[in-house]
């Protein structure tokens, strides 16, 4: 998502008037663990030592060009007015759908021919903006010009009278080139890619018999047998023939590494964006409709939770557990998640001690608790302890993973009908029925206090404004005024749907467990089907669809789109990690094995070293990126050490 390349000095932008198979040997497993830990340590050292050096190169360029008062994602704009009357400058972000223009300032009339009056303004560089120039006496639009300003750049907007007519010409000149704020991301990516490449090459080299023999000879004691081996050559143990022709015994409790790897990928990205993501806009949640990187990970985490529910309940039923005992465990686990979310990682701690009058009740763990409880209950309703592998000869095999669990699907469909009815039919005071917009300056400012429509109204009615999230992402672009909670009550229905689709993935794995190709094909079919539904609901647009993709609302199209991505991504990881053994899943596998501990820990220790420290320049993307990458890498290393010690926090 790179910004538009800006033109060089004295270049004008003008507008006219109107418009492997895993090694089974114990020694190799230990070596792989050591190598993985070494990679994590090296990555952390490089992130701390090398990345700041690379960032310093761009930092010197930043200090050379930027205006002293400019912050991140800001540029200086000087408006020069040569007209004989004052003009008003307004702006609107291109990411703001049907928004009112916001006033930037007024520029006095020119002093005379060739003597313009000038006023300096600070403008945002995150997205392309449209500048509007109006005459103040009669509110006449003189010109409108779209432009994407670059960070810490200096620009001039000239407002002149055309010589041959009474029209007005507006043009933007680049006085000083902006800095490339994306260089730190490129440097960080290259460093981590290089480390991954070195690790992969080192693993291949270590697998060579000659290299292993050399290392063993150098590190061993001078025993008689070793001396004999050094003369005759290293002995090579040939496995019995039966080891090559007999398949390994199947273990029902074998854990799929792809599931923990997928969960770990989601968790690592979630930790990174929660720590700030280098303060880049695409690592923050979208203001309203649309998707950013930050909007992907939570639904994926919910999805893989549903997959784990299917596998764990099936295993426990086969082990002899009763459904009542499993129901009690599900209720207790959900209660624990809810309590931790409300009392341990509540964002209200930023304001001091918790107090009931302003305690935020919804949250991420609370949403997980609710989704887990409902989906676990639905699975206990229909789960089977003994499953036969489905043969392709059966006429019902293409839909077996759906037909066997039709009562649960019926419940989910009824919940979705309830969501659609409340969203589009519930009357909301002073708001249009079925409103899905952000309010604020959106929709030409007609529905200022209608943020979220029915979803926001239900939360305010059931929870009260003081128990909701006070700083929603809609304030960034749409300048909304009222609280809105993205983990609210109505959106929880669609999070249940997301978890249930993950449960469906688990059922596919159970029914086709001896047919990897069938599992992958089913994942692909589900992914493509959900993608078609998303295309219909959104009309392949950001804002003009029947139901836009919206993380704040957890809209139906948001769930189908993210579930589509999840099925396809899980298929790829399953193929690479579990089928072909090309990748062990490291390092994401380790945080995926300890997900609750990593998530709660990164929230609780967010303000402690080494996860945060005082920066020399808090307005530098490079320094924020280094700090956030180091913090995330620390949690990966911690999860690896816990994995090595076999310490797992289970709720």
User: What is d(CA 475, CA 288) in angstroms, rounded to the nearest whole number?
Assistant: 9
Which pLDDT band, with edges at 50, 70 and 90, does 403 fall under? Answer: confident
Contacts of residue 494, Cβ cutoff 8 Å, sequence gap at least 6: 416, 419, 554, 555, 556, 558, 559
Q: Which residue has the higher pLDDT, 14 or 524?
A: 524
**Residue 115 confidence class, pLDDT cut points 50, 70, 90:** confident
Q: What is the pLDDT of residue 304?
A: 96
3-state helix vs strand vs coil in the chain, percent to 5: 50, 10, 35
Helix 364-382 to helix 406-425 angle (10° resolution) is 140
**Residue 497 vs residue 226, higher pLDDT:** 497
Q: How far apart are CA 490 and CA 296, in angstroms?
A: 19
Q: Cα separation of 173 and 526, whole Å? A: 51
Whole-number pLDDT of residue 209: 77
Report in angstroms the alpha-carbon separations of 376 from 9, 500, 603.
62, 9, 26
pTM, whole model, 2 decimals?
0.84
User: pLDDT class for 400, splitting at 50, 70, 90?
Assistant: confident
Residue pointed to by tokens 């989906």: 375
- How many Å separate Cα 255 from the centre of its chain? 26
Cα 151 to Cα 67: distance, rounded to the nearest angstrom: 10
What is the residue whose two structure tokens read 């609901």?
Answer: 537
Higher pLDDT among residues 649 and 21, named by residue? 649
Pairing of strands 140-147, 102-107: unpaired
Q: What average pLDDT is seen over the chain? A: 83
What pLDDT does residue 461 have?
95
d(CA 568, CA 176): 45
| In contact, 359 and 348? CB cutoff 8 Å | yes
Stronger pLDDT, 553 or 354, i.e. the higher one:
553
Rounded to the nearest 5 degrees, what angle is found at the Cα of 638, between the Cα atoms of 634 and 639?
Answer: 120
End-to-end CA distance of the chain: 39
- Kindly tell me if the per-residue pLDDT of 291 is higher than 50: yes
* CB-based contact 252:318 (threshold 8 Å): yes
Spatial strand order of the sheet with 102-107 comes to 102-107, 87-93, 129-135, 140-147
Q: 465: burial class by Cβ within 10 Å (0-12, 13-18, 19+)?
A: middle
Residue with the two structure tokens 């997301």: 498
pLDDT at residue 398 in the model? 72
Q: Give yes or no for a contact between 515 and 552, defined as CB atoms under 8 angstroms apart.
A: no
The mean pLDDT value for 614-629 works out to: 93
- Of residues 39 and 467, the one with the higher pLDDT is 467
For residues 380 and 371, what is the distance between their CA atoms, to the nearest angstrom?
A: 14
Q: If we measure between CA atoms, which residue out of 288, 368, 294 comes closest to residue 333?
A: 368
What's the confidence (pLDDT) of residue 166?
Answer: 67
Active site residues: 285
Q: What average pLDDT does the segment 168-180 reach?
A: 92
User: pLDDT tens-digit profile of 232-289?
Assistant: 444 444 444 433 333 343 343 467 899 999 999 999 999 999 999 999 999 999 999 9
Strands 154-161 and 168-176: antiparallel
Collapsed DSSP state (helix, strand, coil) of residue 228: helix
Q: Which of 190-204, 210-224, 402-416 shows the lowest per-residue confidence on average (mean pLDDT)?
A: 210-224
d(CA 4, CA 597) in angstroms, rounded, equals 41
pLDDT digit string (tens) for 426-462?
A: 999 999 999 999 999 999 999 999 999 999 999 999 9
Instruction: Compute the distance between CA of residue 36 and CA of residue 643 in angstroms, rounded to an integer.
Output: 12
CB–CB of 314/385 below 8 Å?
Answer: yes
DSSP-assigned letter for residue 525: H
H or E element at residue 307: helix 297-318
Single out the residue of 221, 280, 290 nearest to residue 540, CA to CA: 290
Phi, psi of 613 (to 5 degrees): -150, 165
Say which range, 24-33, 140-149, 151-160, has the weakest mean pLDDT: 24-33
**456-498: pLDDT as tens digits:** 999 999 999 999 998 999 999 999 999 999 999 999 999 999 9
Run of H or E residues at 114: none
60: confidence class by pLDDT, cuts 50, 70, 90: very low
Is pLDDT of 530 > 50?
yes
What would the DSSP string read from start to end of 57-76? HHHHHHHHHS-TT--TTEEE
**What is the share, in percent, of the chain residues with pLDDT greater than 70?**
82
Residues 6 or more apart in contact with residue 379 via CB below 8 angstroms:
309, 310, 313, 408, 503
Whole-number pLDDT of residue 219: 64
Query: Span 525-553, mean pLDDT?
Result: 96
At residue 164 the predicted structure's pLDDT band, cuts being 50, 70 and 90, is: low
């Amino acid at each position: 998502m790179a910004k538009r390349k800006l033109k060089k000095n004295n270049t004008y932008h003008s507008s006219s008037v109107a418009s492997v198979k895993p090694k089974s040997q114990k020694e190799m497993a230990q070596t792989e663990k050591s190598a993985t830990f070494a990679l994590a340590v090296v990555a952390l050292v490089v992130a701390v030592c090398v990345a700041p050096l690379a960032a310093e190169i761009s930092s010197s360029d930043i200090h050379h060009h930027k205006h002293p008062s400019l912050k991140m994602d800001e540029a200086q704009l000087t408006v020069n007015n040569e007209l004989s009357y004052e003009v008003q400058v307004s702006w609107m972000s291109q990411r703001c759908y049907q928004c009112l223009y916001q006033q930037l300032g007024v520029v006095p009339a020119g002093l005379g021919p060739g003597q313009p009056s000038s006023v300096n303004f600070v403008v945002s560089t995150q997205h392309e903006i449209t500048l509007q120039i109006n005459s103040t006496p009669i509110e006449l639009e003189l010109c409108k010009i779209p432009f994407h300003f670059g960070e810490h750049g200096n620009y001039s907007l000239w407002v002149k009278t055309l010589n041959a007519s009474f029209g007005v010409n507006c043009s933007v000149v680049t006085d000083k080139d902006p800095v490339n704020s994306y260089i730190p991301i490129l440097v960080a990516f290259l460093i981590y890619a290089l480390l991954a490449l070195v690790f992969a090459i080192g693993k291949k080299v270590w697998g060579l018999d000659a290299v292993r023999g050399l290392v063993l000879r150098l590190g061993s004691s001078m025993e008689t047998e070793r001396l004999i081996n050094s003369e005759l050559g290293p002995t090579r143990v040939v496995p019995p023939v039966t080891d090559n022709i007999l398949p390994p015994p199947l273990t029902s409790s074998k854990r799929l590494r792809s599931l923990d790897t997928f969960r770990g990928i989601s968790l690592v990205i979630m930790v990174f964006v929660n720590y700030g993501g280098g303060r880049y806009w695409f690592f923050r949640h979208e203001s309203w409709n649309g998707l950013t990187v930050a909007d992907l990970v939570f639904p994926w985490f919910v999805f893989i939770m549903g997959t784990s529910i299917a596998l764990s309940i099936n295993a426990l039923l086969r082990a002899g557990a009763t459904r009542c005992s499993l129901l009690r465990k599900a209720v207790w686990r959900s209660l624990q998640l809810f309590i931790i979310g409300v009392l341990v990682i509540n964002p209200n701690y930023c304001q001091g001690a918790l107090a009931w009058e302003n305690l935020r009740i919804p949250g991420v763990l609370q949403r997980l608790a609710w989704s887990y409880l409902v989906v676990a209950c639905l699975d206990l309703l229909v789960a089977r302890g003994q499953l036969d592998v489905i043969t392709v000869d059966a006429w019902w095999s293409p839909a077996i993973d759906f037909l066997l669990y039709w009562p649960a699907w019926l419940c989910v469909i009824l919940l979705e009908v309830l969501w659609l009815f409340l969203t589009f039919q519930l009357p909301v005071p002073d708001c249009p029925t079925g409103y899905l917009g952000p309010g604020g300056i959106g929709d030409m400012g007609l529905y200022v206090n209608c943020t979220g429509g029915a979803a926001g109204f239900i939360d305010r009615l059931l929870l009260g404004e003081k128990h909701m999230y006070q700083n929603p992402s809609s304030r960034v672009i749409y300048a909304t005024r009222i609280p809105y909670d993205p983990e609210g009550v109505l959106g929880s229905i669609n999070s249940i749907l997301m978890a249930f689709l993950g449960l469906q993935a688990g059922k596919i794995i159970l029914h086709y467990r001896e047919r990897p190709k069938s599992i992958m094909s089913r994942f692909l079919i589900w992914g493509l089907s959900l993608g078609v539904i998303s295309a219909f609901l959104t009309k392949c647009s950001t804002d003009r669809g029947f139901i836009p993709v919206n993380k704040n609302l957890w809209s139906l199209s948001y769930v189908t789109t993210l579930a589509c991505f999840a099925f396809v991504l899980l298929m790829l990881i399953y193929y690479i990690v579990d089928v072909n053994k090309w990748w062990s899943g490291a390092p994401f596998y380790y945080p995926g094995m300890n997900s609750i501990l990593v998530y709660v820990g990164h929230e609780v220790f967010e303000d402690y070293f080494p996860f945060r420290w005082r920066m020399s320049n808090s307005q530098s993307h490079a320094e924020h990126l280094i700090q956030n990458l180091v913090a995330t890498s620390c949690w990966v290393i911690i999860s690896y050490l816990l994995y090595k010690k076999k310490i797992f926090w289970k709720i």
